[in-house]
Chain A
Amino acid sequence: MILIRFCFVVLSISVIFFQGNSQTAATKPSLKVSGQVAKLLTLTAEDLSKMKHVTAILKDRGGKNVNYSGVPLQDILGLAGVSTGGQLRGENLSKYLLVKCADGYEVLFSLAEVDSSFTDRVIILADSTEGSPLPSDRGPFRLIVPGEKKPARSSYQVLEFVIRFAADK
């Protein structure tokens, strides 16, 4: 009975994805870094997989610790030439990072909040959890922000980092 149910679930998921793929070639999600950057970046899952990975821990809704593996956010920002470390002074301290997700969700960090010269907290862009790729409803890339009381900034399906100056007009 369990085997039949399992086969049905696998078949259903296959049908869901086959339905679309038979009509158009699906675009693979990638990560863009744009805005106030020295170099505009588009990183594929493969590009990210080749970068240095570290582990970060986030509690799930049940309160259990879950391991995530991914690329430190600062390394990605560094690749795009975003102001980090010693450059984060003066007006650069009014720069922010806007994280954009596939469903339109957006969250914001000041650059100082995510920089190792200001904090020991290492935020990562995770591409796997407990040894497996992230499930597609949360991945392929999820921001993991350790040490926060709410997981609201540990955003699902991240597609873009935008760097801007905070400018009151």
Chain B
Amino acid sequence: MTKLFLTILLMGIFLISINALLGSKVSPLYEIKYPAYFGDRIFIPADNTTTEAGVKLGRMLFYETALSAGNTISCGTCHKQELAFTDGKKMSTGIDGSLQSRNTMSLANLLWVSNFFWDGRAAGLEEQAKTPLTSPHEMGQSLAISVAKLKKIENYPLLFKEAFASDSISEQMIVKALAQFERTLVSADSRYDQYLRGEYKPTKSELNGISLFYTSPDPLKNIRGADCAHCHGGPKTYTELFQNNGLDSLPSDRGRELVTGLDIDRGRFRVAGLRNIAATAPYMHDGRFETLEEVVDHYNEHVVSNILTSPFLRDRSNTLNGKSLDLPKDEKKDILAFLNMLTDSAFISDRNFSNPFSK
């Protein structure tokens, strides 16, 4: 009798386990594709692997206005795909009508970024997402309220279950799903990429722009350059650096110093990635430059040189003993030609990244 009872009990446990396993089906991993020349120094936290269901949910949350107080704005309001996930404004406007203190950053190739915001204060995309969602001057809604609202919206409980194998929705799941989606925003099909793949023949001006971008000037050897790559790095055009780029003699925004407390970090901001740069005006942390021409003019002839300014912007010149880059108009145009090569029209029209609620 006891044996029969035990057998039935074990069979019951077995059937319940099988049912639970089937019910909590783990979503397949999402393969993020990128060229080998971007390198594998990528940042994905061990507790938030990228899955098909997580990315699908994250994309919906990215465009979900229910995540804002008053249900009027979403992440996509200030990060518009057609502008490489910026909004074209000097400072974006929050839910309460106030302007942000810094320019909205483009969202491309975040897989290679470990510290977010202009000052690098958020370690990871999951951590970063909490600020715009909850700041009273941005989307203005606590994550707890967002959870409560999402639980009541049709489909979300099922989408969260598919993404996280859980019957509940949590604050952490919201930021995790958003981070998963944002990690898929890879821009690697610009004309420059096509050139690197041997599929596009650059113009003479573009080729010279590439050369100037990567070359450090040496007037003694008659080597001409703008040395942009010193900070902007290789083909990814991004290296995680924070520099004072000589915008002001007295920085009104102390930048990274506010994070580290170090004097030497005064006026230092993230060296921005240059992918899709032509689509992301205005420029700099405060959006002071409206055009790329102004940006190139700044680096060529207007860098404020003091002890806070990056040394790599102070001692580079194409003129013997020169104090600035001293590139003539035609070479500045060549650099602009290269920067325009970095626009990736496939990225800014990719339906995998677009608003799923749009018709």
Contact = CB atoms under 8 A, between A and B. Distances in A.
Interface of A: 12-13, 15-17, 19-21, 24-27, 29, 61, 102-105, 135-138, 156-157
Contacts of B250: 15-16, 19
B308 A16 contact: yes
How big is chain B's contact interface, by range? 20 to 34
Majority-rule SS of A interface residues: loop
Interface in B186-201: none
A163 B33 CA distance: 31
Contacts of B306: 12-13, 16
A27 B261 contact: yes
A156 B311 contact: yes
Contact of A102 (B239, B262, B307): B262
Given A16-B250, A19-B250, A20-B254, A136 B311 contact: no
A11 B241 CA distance: 30
Given A27-B262, A29-B262, A104 B240 contact: yes
A137 B257 contact: no
Contacts of A17: 263
Interface stretch (B15-23, B94-102, B264-272): B264-272
Nearest to A135: B307
A12 B249 contact: yes
B243 A20 contact: no
Interface in B312-352: 315
Nearest to B267: A16
A27 B130 CA distance: 27
A165 B266 CA distance: 34
Given A104-B241, A104-B242, A20 B310 contact: no
B260 interface: yes
Interface of B: 115, 120, 239-243, 249-250, 254, 257, 260-266, 268, 306-311, 315
Contact of A103 (B115, B243, B307): B243
23 contacts: A13-B306, A15-B250, A16-B249, A16-B306, A16-B307, A16-B308, A20-B254, A20-B257, A20-B266, A21-B263, A26-B261, A26-B263, A27-B260, A29-B264, A102-B262, A102-B265, A103-B242, A103-B243, A105-B241, A135-B307, A137-B307, A137-B310, A156-B311
Contact of B264 (A15, A21, A25, A102): A102
Given A12-B249, A15-B250, A136-B263, A103 B308 contact: no
B308 A137 contact: yes
Contacts of A102: 260, 262, 264-265
Contacts of A16: 249-250, 266, 306-308
A61 B266 contact: no
Given A20-B257, A26-B261, A136 B310 contact: no
A138 B309 CA distance: 11
B311 to A, nearest CB: 5
Contacts of A24: 261
Contacts of A104: 115, 120, 239-242
Contact of A20 (B263, B307, B309, B311): B263
Nearest to A24: B261
B220 to A, nearest CB: 10
A105 B268 CA distance: 13
Nearest to A106: B240
B232 to A, nearest CB: 13
A136 B306 CA distance: 11
